[in-house]
Amino acid sequence: MKVGIALSGGVDSAVAAALMIESGYSVTGYHMIVLPTDGAITQAVEDATKVAEHLGIELKILDLSHQFRETVIEYFKVSYATGLTPNPCVLCNDIIKFGIFAEQILADNNEAIATGHYARIIRDDDGRFFLARASFDRKDQAYFLSRVKKEKLSFIRFPNGELSKEEVRHRARSLAIPVHSKKDSQEICFIPDNDYRNFLHGEGIESSTGDIVKGNGEVIGRHNGLTDYTIGQRRGLGINFREKLYVKDLDFTGNRLVLGRREELVSFGLEAVDPNWYIEPEREFDCLCKIRSSMNAVKAHVKLLEADRVAISFSDGAWGVTPGQLAVLYNDEVVLGSAFIERSC
């Protein structure tokens, strides 16, 4: 079988490529450019080239910078401008990596696409494919993949899904892969310095200063513009107060930044829109839910409200429900579906 491997220039995709080769696949590497380079060779391209040469496979470069700007970056900007906290990696995986990028790889005479993600694709006895969490939760990335459409799962491969990060590093060292000691990326790929506020300002997304208030309406300071904040934020609020306060709400109508004590950010329900299902859901069902990638899944009850809307309730509460982020639903290790959080309730 011919497989296209997405080579980012990092250690995860390099080891994934090596594992596919070891498994007997005919592998071609593909590197995706998402930002204009003006013809310059980026470090990522250099690293991907070194990996491909070391593994003895061809590398092809696909420039998707225009499509990336029109989808992921625009979504990022519009979300912040309208009071939502975006998750650009989620949209990129859906529309770019496993959308346009995958389509071009498959059109290049490949039968499947492999990446270095830490997740698994499992197949049941009826031949249906499901997205599942990685074997090692600490690096699990199924949360970020939960918008990828179920009909695509049959041609996706995640070779690293059964490995820990430490095992991947060990494999890379044992194979003398050139990027074996390269650090993991910690920032949004199109914001190298991780300063999203400065990025938004540079893109013309501005918001005016206004009052910082407590839940009772008491004014306790001034904010720099609501696009500079996100729900759950505690640092960088620019106030000195006698108790620890967190961003509870972004009131765009009144241009107010609403703060509250930590316990005030606990919600017992939310509504979410645009669900992406991997199963045919019942009208109501119990499951596990994550509203942030880093949290432990909590018990939840899901009720379908309309075709494009769900209500999710938490018997023990969930902290920091953030509009714009993703609520991902699980049955143990298997992803049932996901939807974008609209509001807490």
Looking at domain 266-344, which CATH architecture does it have? Beta Barrel (2.40)
Ordered alpha helix ranges (H), the chain:
11-22, 43-55, 65-68, 74-81, 88-91, 102-107, 142-145, 165-174, 196-202
326, 146 contact by CB (below 8 A): yes
114, 159 contact by CB (below 8 A): yes
* pLDDT tens-digit map of 274-311: 999 999 999 999 999 999 998 999 999 999 998 899 99
User: Confidence class of residue 194 from pLDDT cuts 50, 70 and 90?
Assistant: confident
99 is in an annotated binding site: no
pLDDT greater at residue 238 or residue 50: 50
Q: How many residues would you count in the chain? A: 345
CATH of 2-174, one of 3.40.50.300, 3.90.600.10, 3.40.50.620, 3.40.30.10: 3.40.50.620
Q: Are strands 129-133 and 119-123 parallel, antiparallel or unpaired?
A: antiparallel
Secondary structure tally for the chain: helices H, strands E: 9, 17
6 is in an annotated binding site: yes
11 is in an annotated binding site: yes
Measured at the alpha carbon of residue 161, what is the angle toward residues 274 and 320, in degrees to the nearest 5?
Answer: 45
Which residues pair with residue 137 across a beta bridge?
none
Q: How many CB atoms lie within 10 A of CB 86?
A: 22
* pLDDT tens-digit map of 19-78: 999 999 999 999 999 998 776 678 899 999 999 999 999 999 999 999 999 999 999 999
Q: Are strands 298-306 and 334-344 parallel, antiparallel or unpaired?
A: unpaired
pLDDT at 40: 62
**98 vs 96: CA distance, rounded Å:** 6
- Which is nearest to 196 in space by CA: 327, 340, 88? 88
10 is in an annotated binding site: yes
Residue with tokens 């609501």: 226
Q: Are strands 26-33 and 2-6 parallel, antiparallel or unpaired?
A: parallel
Return the domain boundaries, the chain.
Answer: 2-174, 207-260, 266-344
Residue 185 confidence (pLDDT) above 80: no
DSSP string covering 208-241, please?
A: --EEEEETT--EEEEES-GGG--TT--TT-----
Mean pLDDT across the chain = 94
* pLDDT tens-digit map of 313-330: 999 999 999 999 999 999
Catalytic residue among 92, 287, 289, 345: 92
Q: Is 110 exposed, middle or buried (0-12, 13-18, 19+ CB in 10 A)?
A: buried
12 is in an annotated binding site: yes
- Which is nearest to 124 in space by CA: 148, 98, 153? 153
- Which is nearest to 331 in space by CA: 262, 281, 267, 266? 281
Catalytic residue among 189, 287, 289, 345: 189
**193 vs 169: CA distance, rounded Å:** 25
92 is catalytic: yes
pLDDT at 242: 81
26 is in an annotated binding site: no
287 is catalytic: no
CATH topology classification for 207-260? SH3 type barrels. (2.30.30)
pLDDT at 243: 87
**183 vs 147: CA distance, rounded Å:** 27
